[in-house]
Structure 1
Amino acid sequence: MKKNQKIHILFSEKSNIAAVLRRGPTRWYHLMKWDLNTNEFIHGSWIKARIYEEKCDISFDGRYLLYSLHKGSLLGTDYTDSYTALSEIPSFTALALWPQGSTYLGGGRFLDKNLIGVYALPFMYPIHHSHKDVKGYELINLNWTIDRHKDENILLNADWSKQVSKNKQIAIFEYKIYIIENDKAVLFQDLTNLHPPK
């Protein structure tokens, strides 16, 4: 993963759905849903915050996103300035939310169809009173790193790339997503000129 990578794609363990995170302009993120079988691409919500992509994950069925963020404007509220949340893709609206009060650790991984491992769970505040819908998931503390969204270095000149099947790769260059099949690259989505709502 490049330091200033613009697009991050999270692939679910057991479905054809991916979550796409677009970073930019400064402090803004946009969430999208991608059906890898049909190539349906749905634009979702925007949020003004710093999301820690490496701490995010998508559920096994591709329905939910677990994400960790810092939002300074919430300092002094019962959300604190940092939290981990569960939302339904492609929305950032928190179904369940755990205030952290720190950007140290937080976030986590889906471990099974009904189990979430959260980094440093004992150091989080109790679940927020307005966001308590865990959708049947149980939370456990996760004290080891699971990286299933790493850069696989398929294309060394890409910002990120991944082999998704025998003859198919996905590659990101800046704000553009390419699908490469049988050595032929096709621009799938150009997300360059997207802007948050005013």
Structure 2
Amino acid sequence: MPTIHSGPVCRLFVLLARDAPLGVVFRQGPRQLTQLFLWHTNTDTFEPGDRFVGNLSPERGDLSPDGKLLIYVAANYTMGHHNKGLPPRWTALSKPPYLTPLALWPNDEPYYLGGLFAARGSIEINLAPYALEDWREHKPSFPAGAPPEGLVFEYENLPWTPSNQLFTRLMRSGWSQVPTRQQSETVDIAFVKAHPTKPLSLVLGMGSGNSHTYTVHHEAGNAKTKLVGAVWADWDQRGRLVYSLDGKLFTAELDFPGKLQPSEIADFTTTARRRPPTPESASQW
């Protein structure tokens, strides 16, 4: 396994589409710089997208099952941003790897943000209870014009807490919550995701201080392989184990009894990549 260095120049978080060979990579760092990349997991090619300076929270967003739409949460408290007439904190819908809002929900309450893709054509947006009561002050704007027919925004049975929102997205993506006593004393909450065809499962352990651990369990022989230092991990649409570590994306083969054979997919540790200007199509439904 690659050596873990202290203070990597960036961290990688990924949202994978459930029904298409696509993912969105959030390259975070240095400081508050985030750049998006559209990952074609069938070819392991990447399209560089928008950069954002501020707070971008991919854990509170979601990628549509077909990979064509992204829900994200962002915040920027600088005066320059405020003078442009933009809210300090918002939830938006865009076309990855771009952040140009097709729909935007301003929010002055940090607890109630983000959203999830539910049934086909349905998007659940997390708003504070008082926002629904005072809709004129919190209604969304649609910079790209009216949404296409068939796209429905839901606000009922909400709001979520940040944890419940994350747990709901995980379970809709094939993860199941399991008793923590099966994992470790340092794990408060654990989720497991079975490999689609092999006798393997990936366990995500969540502890105090927002710490995460990933471990591959081998049903044959009950062996375990810990992905030491991994920031994110999942089975991709091809059934590969994919994970991020030290600003790089890896895939790995697992040999019994749990020996990891990693292979680097992409290195994002260099300076955030240049991109062409945002295309006009990014601002159109």
Q: Corresponding residue for 2:263?
A: 186
Q: Corresponding residue for 2:153?
A: 139
Structure with greater proportional strand content: 1
Residue 96 to residue 132, structure 1, CA distance change in 2 (3 Å): farther
Is 1:24 matched up with 2:24? no
Distance 2:56 2:117 in 1: 18
Distance 1:133 1:46 in 2: 26
- CA deviations 1:129-171 (Å, max 9, x no partner) are 6354544521112334313277732334022222337862012
Is 1:169 matched up with 2:246? no
Q: Quick one: which amino acid aligns to residue 140 of structure 1?
A: E
Aligned-partner SS, 1:72: coil
User: Aligned Cα RMSD in Å?
Assistant: 2.6
Structure 1 range deviating more: 11-20 or 129-138: 129-138
Structure 1 range deviating more: 154-163 or 169-178: 154-163
Residue 117 to residue 60, structure 1, CA distance change in 2 (3 Å): same
Q: Corresponding residue for 1:108?
A: 115
Residue 66 to residue 166, structure 1, CA distance change in 2 (3 Å): closer
Aligned length: 194
TM value normalised by structure 1: 0.85
Distance 1:129 1:171 in 2: 35
Q: Which segments of 5 or more consecutive residues in structure 1 lack a partner in the other structure?
A: none
Identity among equivalent positions (%) equals 23
Structure 1 range deviating more: 129-138 or 46-55: 129-138
Structure 1 range deviating more: 165-174 or 17-26: 165-174
Q: Which segments of 5 or more consecutive residues in structure 2 lack a partner in the other structure?
A: 1-7, 133-137, 174-190, 192-202, 205-213, 216-225, 255-259, 275-285
Larger Rg: 2
- CA deviations 1:60-106 (Å, max 9, x no partner) are 11011100111113346653200111110111111111111232221
Q: Is the 8 A contact 1:168 1:179 kept in 2?
A: yes
Aligned-partner SS, 1:101: coil
TM value normalised by structure 2: 0.61
Structure with greater proportional helix content: 2
Distance 1:95 1:165 in 2: 27
